[in-house]
Amino acid sequence: KEYSKEEILQYAEANNVRYVRLQFTDLLGIVKNVEIPVDQLPKALNNRMMFDGSSIQGFVRIEESDMYLAPDLSTWLIFPWETPQGKVARLICDVYQPDGTPFPGDPRSVLKRVYARAQDMGFSAFNVGPEPEFFLFKLDEKGKPTQDLNDEGGYFDWAPVDLGENCRRDIVVTLENMGFEIEASHHEVAPGQHEIDFRYANAVEAADNIATFRLVVKTVARQHGLHATFMPKPLYGINGSGMHTHLSLFRDHQNAFYDPDDELGLSETARFFLAGVLEHARGFTAICNPTVNSYKRLVPGYEAPSYIAWSGKNRSPLVRVPAARGQSTRVEVRSPDPSCNPYLAIASLLAAGLDGIERQLELPPPVNRNIYMMTESEKEEAGIRSLPANLSDALDALMRDEVLVEALGHHVLLHFIEAKRIEWNMFRTQVTEWEREQYLTLY
Ligand code: ADP
Ligand code: MG
Ligand code: MG
Ligand code: MG
Ligand code: MG
């Protein structure tokens, strides 16, 4: 909903809002905020709030650190929970440089730039429907997360096995109070694991929603004495948490992926888009699966993809085309996980698909067999490549992908790769308990 500045000031006054959080995200998708007392709100609404960007991950050097926050008025929201000091509201902001141009390191502006290209190509929306999964762990007496899951439930289990139910329902109610349209919520396959699905939204709004969703889940879980984590694979031997992402392009409010005359009900646009997603899958993996831990999820045996293929029938490949047609025609990319920066992930998926449309890439045939049962030579014959096996390979693939390099921009790419190389090298040189168990007595 679009609000005017006057309306926002009125709402703040009428609802006794005491503080306003000016929210943005850093390069790694971590939500940052500057909190202002409500009497500073008029100044903030005129884009006059300055902050020092030099200590924000992936932002800037000290000598160029002044940044301005420009609130997006459509994101005005009063948090439904009370604090001892009264009500708190938030506005999601774009980050600007002192000269008034968008800051190239702001992930939200990266997504806006890629989305503008979709608009130039005649599309009126890029719809994104995420299915984020997360685990609930118990807290200890000191309030620190333990490794004890909060229940022993399984897929679609019912209370009382599913002790997460009250917490999950409370999360759903809170999200609904904040304007989310929840489509489903259920216990996932692993113990302590849950999924909440909310309705798709247009590119930037969808990314805002994912950022807000993660914040709300963590906040409400705390109130139940639990720790919610979006870490992709918190425990060895059980499923990790993914964030399947459903995608479609609309033209004049009509689904541009749908063609009733096609044998599969898919338009040329859908085929080109899907071909682009497959073409750039190795490249966008570093963005959609950005942690060392992400690659512990992308292994066979736990319902996560590790090969690049699509299917309309089978749920296991990288991309599935769900059976629904008409306005619900969409492709589901199954590799992203909820540790990603949602702005950069959606930007890279869109850039991949748009490249397919621009170059009219040919869609390879669907793979309806179980890829894990195919031999190496069968896979090679069918042209099935695998996703990068670890963060290092994924970073190499990203740097070689010119379309994604251009879409993300040099500032983001440079800082992202630098931060992630450090992360990889730290991980790579660790000596783990597993290694000592394997080798200490053997050698
Ligand atoms: P799954 O069958 O993989 O479990 P879900 O039903 O849980 O999928 O989630 C479907 C997601 O797809 C929801 O977020 C929904 O809003 C979204 N969705 C529905 N139609 C579209 C569309 N046309 N474009 C993008 N996303 C869509
Ligand atoms: Mg689902
Ligand atoms: Mg599902
Ligand atoms: Mg799921
Ligand atoms: Mg799914």
User: How close are the terminal C-alpha atoms of the chain, in Å?
Assistant: 66
Ligand 1: residue whose CA is nearest its atom 21: 328
Ligand 1: residue whose CA is nearest its atom 13: 129
- Could you confirm whether 279 is annotated as catalytic? no
Per-residue pLDDT of the chain (443 residues; tens, 9 = 90+): 789 999 999 999 999 999 999 999 999 999 998 899 999 999 999 988 888 777 776 665 545 578 899 999 999 999 988 788 889 999 999 999 989 999 999 999 999 999 999 999 999 999 999 999 999 999 999 999 998 887 776 666 665 555 677 899 999 999 999 999 999 998 888 888 999 999 999 999 999 999 999 999 999 999 999 999 999 999 999 999 999 999 999 999 999 999 999 999 999 999 999 999 999 999 999 999 999 999 999 998 888 999 999 999 887 799 999 999 999 999 999 999 999 999 999 999 999 999 999 999 999 999 988 888 889 899 999 889 999 999 999 999 999 999 999 999 999 999 999 999 999 999 999 999 999 999 999 99
- 398 touches 287 (CB < 8 A): yes
Centre of ligand 1 to C-alpha 332, Å, is 8
> d(Cα 254, Cα 125) in Å, to the nearest integer?
9
> d(Cα 54, Cα 66) in Å, to the nearest integer?
8
What pLDDT, in 10s, does the model give residues 310-354?
999 887 799 999 999 999 999 999 999 999 999 999 999 999 999
Mean pLDDT, the chain, rounded, equals 93
Q: Which residues contact 329 (CB under 8 A, 6 or more apart)?
A: 248, 255, 257, 258, 265, 266, 270
Point out which residues pair with 136 in neighbouring strands: 228
> d(Cα 399, Cα 309) in Å, to the nearest integer?
22
Percent of the chain at pLDDT exceeding 70? 95
CB burial readout 325-356, b (16+ within 10 A) else e: beebbbbbbbbbbbbbbbbbbbbbbbbbbbbb
Cβ(183) to ligand 1 under 6 A? yes
> d(Cα 169, Cα 163) in Å, to the nearest integer?
11
- 313 touches 325 (CB < 8 A): no
CB-based burial label for 382 (10 Å; 0-12, 13-18, 19+) = middle
Task: Give the DSSP letter string of 193-227.
Answer: EEEEEE--EEHHHHHHHHHHHHHHHHHHHHHTTEE
Q: What is the DSSP letter of 263?
A: T
What token pair was written down for 139?
């807290």
- 103 touches 52 (CB < 8 A): no
Amino acid code (one letter) for 344: L
Amino acid code (one letter) for 428: R
Cβ(283) to ligand 1 under 6 A? no
What token pair was written down for 302?
């736990």
Q: 68 — phi, psi (to 5°)?
A: -115, 145
pTM of the model: 0.95
SS3 breakdown of the chain: % helix, strand, coil, rounded to 5? 40, 25, 40
- 332 touches 320 (CB < 8 A): yes
Query: Strand 87-96 vs strand 17-25: parallel, antiparallel, or unpaired?
Result: parallel
Task: Return the CA Rg of the chain.
Answer: 22
Centre of ligand 2 to C-alpha 357, Å, is 28
Ligand 1, from 258, 274, 321, 330: best to mutate by most atoms within 8 Å of Cβ? 330
Count of all residues that appear for the chain in the document: 443
- 52 touches 113 (CB < 8 A): no
- The ipTM (two decimal places) reads 0.96
CB-based burial label for 225 (10 Å; 0-12, 13-18, 19+) = exposed
Determine the Cα angle at 287 with ends 403 and 316, to 5°.
100
Q: 305 — phi, psi (to 5°)?
A: -75, 150
SS3 294: helix
Q: Which residues contact 181 (CB under 8 A, 6 or more apart)?
A: 198, 199
Centre of ligand 3 to C-alpha 75, Å, is 28
pLDDT for residue 61 = 56
- The single residue of 90, 187, 214, 244 carrying the catalytic annotation is 244
Query: Strand 254-255 vs strand 243-251: parallel, antiparallel, or unpaired?
Result: antiparallel
The closest of 298, 280, 301, 278 to 289, measured between CA atoms, is 298
Cβ(428) to ligand 1 under 6 A? no
What token pair was written down for 114?
């890629």
CB-based burial label for 439 (10 Å; 0-12, 13-18, 19+) = exposed
Distances (CA, A) of 254 to 123, 347, 394: 10, 21, 35
- 85 touches 37 (CB < 8 A): no
